[in-house]
Structure 1
Amino acid sequence: MYTVVERELELRLVLSPERAVAVPARLSYRTDDPYAVHIAFHIDSLCPVDWTFARELLVEGVFRPCGDGDVRVWPTKAEGRCVVLMALSSPAGEALLEAPAAPVSAWLERTLRVVPPGTEGEQLGLDDGLDRLLAQ
């Protein structure tokens, strides 16, 4: 059995400095995948677009720019609001998403209470599995 921490949120897909469109999204964290966060973007298609990346990256990105390659995250202000920007890149294209900082931070705090930083490996049961394997 594992725990799931979810949050529905409206993000903004930044198309240009003057234009953005709303994108409903679901942030998910599961204790059976303790190092990762999952974001499902519900765009105008039958299936949501899913992204998975390190929880640590999002935690750090709320405070300072971080990330390399496919996922970069950084805090900023937009129209007087504190937001978190996520630049996502894949062979299929690129997207810049803006998320309100307060709800993202509150959701991250919930995930950190469920699995504190540094205890993620305990969730995987690797020690128990290794003990069983060596006992044979």
Structure 2
Amino acid sequence: MHTVVERELELELVLSPECSIPVAALLSYRPDDPYAVHVTFHTGTDHPVNWTFARELLVEGVFRPCGHGDVRVWPTKVAGRGVVLMALSSPDGDALLQAPAAQVSAWLERTLVAVPPGTEFGRLGIDDGLAELLAPTPADDLWLGDPWLPDDFTDGE
């Protein structure tokens, strides 16, 4: 059984140092996709905005600046409280989001309990998938036989 670890949060979309607007978000972690975290932003439209990035990036970003390119994460303080900032860039635009550090950290801790660091690879099912893919089937006997030899042919007799 795969337990999905979810947390609804209210983030702040930072428009300027003086202005931000609340954005409802859902943090989601699935053990069958063990390296990724999923964030769904509910922007008040019929189509939520989904982002997926490395769990390790968010874990590290709670403690120190990390990431480059499309996703950057870093901790800071705003009005005396700890927050995690996430800078997201896409061809459609850029966003700076602020999340409560304590809530993000508590959710991340639950994901780390569900799938401890270093055990993610075992959750991918690669060995099972390869075994299934490479398992012989009855049809393999047809392909492995020599089509030019009669069925009653015996070698060396």
TM-score (norm 2): 0.84
Q: 1:37 maps to what in 2? A: 37
Residue 32 of structure 1 aligns with an amino acid whose one-letter code is D
In 1, Cα distance between equivalents of 2:133 and 2:86: 41
The letter for the 2-side match of 1:111 is T
- SS class of match (2:113): helix
Q: In the alignment, does 2:46 pair up with 1:46?
A: yes
Indicate the structure (1 or 2) with the bigger Cα radius of gyration: 2
Question: Aligned partners of 1:79 and 1:127: how far apart in 2?
Answer: 50
Query: 1:17 and 1:57 mapped to 2: Cα distance?
Result: 25
What CA distance in whole angstroms lies between the structure 2 residues aligned with 1:45 and 1:74? 28
Counterpart for residue 99 of structure 2 = 99
Percent of matched pairs sharing the same residue: 75
- 1:79-94 equivalences under 5 Å are 79-94=79-94
3-state SS in 2 of match to 1:87: strand
Listed as ranges, the matches of 1:67-86 within 5 Å are 67-86=67-86
Equivalent AA in structure 2 for residue 8 of structure 1: E
Pairwise mapping of residues 59-74 of structure 1 onto structure 2 (< 5 A)? 59-74=59-74
Find the aligned partners of 2:135 and 2:93 in 1 and give their Cα distance: 49
Which residue is 1:123 aligned to? 123
Q: Which runs of 5+ in 2 are unaligned?
A: 137-157
Q: CA deviation at 1:135?
A: 4.1
Alignment length (residue pairs):
136
What TM-score does the superposition give when structure 1 sets the normalisation length? 0.96
CA distance in structure 2 between the partners assigned to 1:62 and 1:36 by the alignment: 16
Once the two structures are superposed, residues 15-74 of structure 1 have per-residue CA deviations (whole angstroms, 9 ceiling, x without a partner) of 000000000100000011110000000112111111000000000000000001000000
**Superposition CA RMSD, Å:** 1.0
Letter in 2 for 1:59: V
State how far apart, in whole Å, the 2-side matches of 1:132 and 1:8 are: 38
Report deviation, 1:134: 3.9
Deviation per CA, 1:71-129, whole angstroms, max 9, x where unpaired? 00000001111000000000000000000000100000000000001111111111122
SS in 1 for 2:34: coil
SS at match of 1:44: coil
* Equivalent AA in structure 1 for residue 84 of structure 2: V
